[in-house]
Amino acid sequence: MTSALSQHFNLPQSYNGLTIAEVTGHKMWQLEGVTEIGAQITGLTGMPVPETGHFAQAGDQLLVWQGRDRFFWLTPIASLPEVKGVYITDQTASKTQIRISGDQARTLLARGLPVDIDSGMFAVGEVIMTHINHISVVLLRLPDEEGKPTFELWVMRGFAVSLMSFLTTVAASLA
Q: Running along the chain, 175 residues long, what does each successive block of 10 average in pLDDT?
A: 88 95 96 94 97 96 96 96 96 97 97 93 97 97 96 98 98 90
Q: What is the domain extent for residue 81?
A: 27-90
Listed residue (98, 95, 135, 137) closest to 1, CA to CA: 95
User: What pTM, to 2 d.p., does this model score?
Assistant: 0.94
Beta bridge partners of 58: 61
Q: How far apart are CA 88 and CA 45, in angstroms?
A: 12
Give the pLDDT confidence score for residue 2 in this predicted structure: 75
State how far Cα 69 lies from the chain centre.
18
SS3 (DSSP) at 142: strand
Phi, psi (deg, nearest 5) at residue 114: -90, 10
- Looking at the fold, whether 84 and 151 belong to one and the same domain comes out as no
112/78 same-domain check: no
Residue 44: per-residue pLDDT? 96
| Per-residue pLDDT at 78 | 95
| 158, part of any domain | yes
CA distance 33 to 39: 11
Whether 36 and 106 map to the same domain: the answer is no
> What CA–CA distance (Å, rounded) separates 69 from 67?
6
Q: What pLDDT, on a 0 to 100 scale, did the predictor assign at position 1?
A: 60
Intra-chain end-to-end CA distance of the chain, in Å: 33
